[in-house]
Amino acid sequence: MESTDDDTNTFACLILSANAFSVSDGSVLLAITIVLLALSAVIAGAETAFFSLTPRDVNFLKTKNTLAARQVVSLLDQPKILLATMLVANNFINIAIIISTNIFVNRLFPDIGGYFAFLINVVCVTFFLVLFGEVLPKVYATQNNLRLAIFSAPYIKLLYTTFLPVSKVLVNTAGFVEKRVGKSDPTSVSNADFETAIELTVGHSATKEEVNIFKGIIKFGKITARQIMRTRLDVSCVDWEWEFAKVKSYCLEAGYSRLPVYNDDLDHVSGVIHTKDFLPHLNDPAFDWHQLVRQAYFVHESKMVEDLLKEFQQKRIHLAVVVDEFGGTSGIITLEDIMEEIIGDIRDEFDEEDLNYKKLDDKNYQFEGKTPINDFCKIIGVPPSRFDKARGESDSLAGLVLEIYGKFPGVNDKIRFENFDFTVLALDKMRIQRVKVTINSLPTLKER
């Protein structure tokens, strides 16, 4: 009888120990699942945050001397590998979440089966994974991309280092497949071939200007508003709060026939003023000029100028305000800007002769930092594609220098790219004003 009681007590102790182990094990699995879900949310949000950063945001990060800011800029230098790292890491984490929740449910409810087990292990887990691991983080990232990119940079950098071998294999494989599957048609003709054909066929009978017009027509269909717009730093605009006398004086000094009118700042454009509308009211100093403000026309910076030209013709307008994906003003574009891409510079008696650059000798030039990259390439005689790998999202010479250097330079800093030397001559706060460009001789075969 005593032996039976001892056996019963021992069996009860074993049951209690098993239950305690099961509860403890379940708590660990639950904690692991929550941590994995949080990590999945960070990666999903970081994916949206990193790839929604504007060039302005990247330039801002380059001026910050913090580890996280430098990590963001460094990661964006290899966007394909960065994206592959995030996708691989997120897939591994999602698989781990599914496995851990499945084990947790089986430990917690060992006797369930059928549809109930399917609902818990698949439907419920998928719902929480999509909601908390994908949707909510990406919604937050679209509103706080810069903040989330800086916050997640250390974690993404760790994953980047961990999964780098796998990511490189995936990117290289994708590149190989793309080259094989997406091989261009041998019968197709590139823009370079067209330009060569133009030189050979009409180059001997047409002037240089006429040949350039032909080339401009070829390139016209691939130009966006952002490439030829006047950036917001160079836009002459009128404050809504100004008096009529100040508006007249400013318009006369600016020398433009149309100017944007803003409220508070240039991100809040109220309309466009035409200076010709002032003529009947020049002698009325108390005139309320606000009634002359016309509705502004807004276009996205990725708008193709070929389509924009048609809209200008249909709507009979000559100026549009260019905005980014967040609705902020990037600059303005005019009908003259579009036409100059085809026929070259249009200069009238009011234009200054200063072309924003000075040729020092055959190998040295001075440019203003705001000079568009396309104009810079035309002046020094190289194709714009020469800087495609280095320019990133920048459109001006100053932006190109920032992309190459990787941080904000100081005066007299020299930045080397291939056979070009860029020397910063003048700065204005956080803006590169003037740059000296030196074109070095290409290295000979022995030097290479």
CA 284 – CA 3 distance, rounded (Å): 117
C-alpha span between 224 and 230 (Å, rounded):
13
Helix and strand totals (H; E) in the chain: 18, 12
- Give per-residue pLDDT as tens, 369-418: 888 887 888 888 887 778 877 877 777 888 888 888 888 888 888 888 88
Question: pTM for the whole thing?
Answer: 0.42
Are 223-343 and 357-439 equal in CATH topology?
no
CATH number for the domain whose boundaries are 357-439: 3.30.465.10
Query: What pLDDT does residue 193 have?
Result: 57
**Domain 223-343: assigned CATH number:** 3.10.580.10
pLDDT tens digits, 265-291: 888 898 999 988 888 888 888 888 888
User: Would the pLDDT of 17 be above 70?
Assistant: no
* pLDDT for 9 beyond 60: no
* Residue with token string 């010479």: 397
Residue 118 has pLDDT above 70, yes or no: no
* Dihedral Cα 114, 120, 122, 127, nearest 10 deg: 150
Domains of the chain by residue range: 2-178, 184-220, 223-343, 357-439
pLDDT band of 298, cuts 50, 70, 90: very high
Which band of pLDDT confidence, cut at 50, 70 and 90, is reported for residue 448?
Answer: very low
CB 68 within 8 A of CB 157: no
* 47-95 confidence digits (pLDDT tens): 888 888 887 788 888 888 888 888 888 888 888 888 888 888 888 888 8
* Predicted confidence (pLDDT) per residue in 153-200, tens digit: 898 899 888 888 888 888 888 877 877 775 544 444 455 555 565 555
* Range with lowest mean pLDDT among 109-113, 258-262, 398-402: 109-113
pLDDT for 447 beyond 60 = no
Residue 296 DSSP class: P
Cα 402 to Cα 82, 290, 386, 405, distances in angstroms: 21, 40, 17, 5
Longest pairwise C-alpha distance within the chain: 121
Residues 66, 355: Cα–Cα separation, whole Å: 38
- pLDDT category at 261 given cuts 50, 70, 90 is very high
What integer pLDDT is reported at residue 348 of this predicted model?
Answer: 53
